[in-house]
A and B are shown apart, each in its own frame.
Chain A
Amino acid sequence: MKPRTLALAVAAATLIAPPIDAWLDRAMPRLLLVEMPAWLALGWLAARGRGDALRRWDPYGAAGLVLFLGTMWFWMLPRSVDLVGASPLANQLMHLSLLAAGAVLGVSLPAVPFVVRGALGIHAISMTFALGVLYTSYSALLCGTFDLAQQKATGRLLVGLSPVVLVAVVGWGALTLARSHRRREGAAAARQMPSAG
């Protein structure tokens, strides 16, 4: 087994181990801000450098993107978050679907045009901030398996996280544009260069 595969398998086994999984599920901030991103990241890392077969059927990454967004929307619904706490089967389904969503995103995103990736980034910034404000300011319980203190703590963390997401998305966009600009300049310079001989 390759070291990367082994490391990912160990990480997945750690996340799924009953005491750790139960500890992550018990608090809303841990579930939403540690467990869910961790499964997405595992899927993303597992798919890195793979996915040729998937790209053949989904060359523009559109289907992958729909799967990723649909999965995220489903698990961001308060009712779905409650289901994770109330049903062990739903909990395992969440692990599996987020792992798959992360993998599919990892394969699809490079095939998606820059503008769409930018729109996704803006969507991520606005959702992080909007959810944070909602959880912080809403006086009633949204996720019924937790309590108001955890809901507000999650909100504060999401609001705090949103500038980080903003910097990451803007930074990624600026770097991508700069790289593209350098490539274009390099190509133009190559065209202007007199041919040897």
Chain B
Amino acid sequence: MKPAGVARILPVGMAIAAVFVLASWTHGFQAFTSFSAARVAAGPLPRPAPPLLVVDARGTRYDLAAPGPAFRLVQAMYLRCPDVCPIAMANLGQVQYALRDLSPGRVEVVSLSIDGDSPRDLLDRWRAHGSPEGWTMASLEATDGANAMERLGIWVYRRRDGLINHSTDMVLIDRAGRVVRVFRADGDPGVIAAEIRRLAS
């Protein structure tokens, strides 16, 4: 092909290639951050929740994603988090308070540590929040914890300084063990609670 022909085709071909690369990297222009990419990559809702083997503040071990009598609203956190987790947990606490008549029997709110926090430390934090019934604090036990969180749609990154950056989305698991809703941590607690109430009633 002559250079003049290439000059006409090359920019168009490259523009198409650029759009293709950007579209695949952003999951069809839906995910521009690692947080949203993990959310989209986990798959459409509803989807089965991955096994989440945890130990709670009382030392009880169980699979958080196993089918059960209550909806579970799960949010990742770690106790030594200096910035985002306390704010996100405060919002989660407001959701739990708005749903207190349904918990713990029909709705259980779970702060899930991704840093292997001990039951004793979890219990201390739970007490610091006023020992709310229906708000469980648990620690992820699985050795492939990061993988399980990724499958849940939660992005986790361990920084060089020892801190952990992670999604603070609230993931709602229904009684059948399926992820049915994902709420943003900065969402209106009243709206989130109303939606969960509708689903759990």
**Contact residues of A with B, CB < 8 Å?**
26, 56-60, 62-63, 65-67, 69-70, 73-74, 77-80, 82, 86, 139-148
Residues of A within 8 A of B25 (CB): 74, 77, 79-80
Most chain A beta-carbon neighbours within 10 Å: one of B11, B163, B166: B11
Residues of B within 8 A of A147 (CB): 83, 159, 163, 165
Contact mask for chain B residues 1-41; partner A; CB cutoff 8 A; 1 contact, 0 none: 00100110011001101100110011000011111010000
A59 in contact with B3 (CB, 8 Å):
yes
Residues of A within 8 A of B165 (CB): 141, 144-147
**Contact residues of B with A, CB < 8 Å?**
3, 6-7, 10-11, 14-15, 17-18, 21-22, 25-26, 31-35, 37, 83-84, 155, 157, 159-160, 163, 165-166, 185-186
A78 in contact with B33 (CB, 8 Å):
yes
The A-B contact count (CB < 8 A) is 84
How far apart are A53's CB and chain B's nearest CB, in angstroms? 10
- With CB as the reference atom, state the residue of chain B lying closest to A65: B11
How far apart are B91's CB and chain A's nearest CB, in angstroms? 12
The contact of B35 among A56, A60, A144, by CB within 8 Å, is A144
A79 in contact with B21 (CB, 8 Å):
no
Residues of A within 8 A of B6 (CB): 57-58
Q: Taking A59-B7, A60-B11, A70-B17 as given, write out 12 further A-B residue pairs in contact, using a Cβ cutoff of 8 Å, ordered by the A residue number.
A: A57-B10, A62-B7, A62-B10, A62-B11, A66-B11, A70-B14, A73-B22, A141-B165, A144-B35, A144-B155, A146-B165, A147-B165
A66 in contact with B33 (CB, 8 Å):
no
Distance A92 CA – B31 CA, assembled complex (angstroms)? 23
How far apart are B15's CB and chain A's nearest CB, in angstroms? 5
The contact of A56 among B3, B22, B34, by CB within 8 Å, is B3
Q: A79-B25, A79-B34 are in contact. Are A144 and B157 (CB under 8 A)?
A: yes
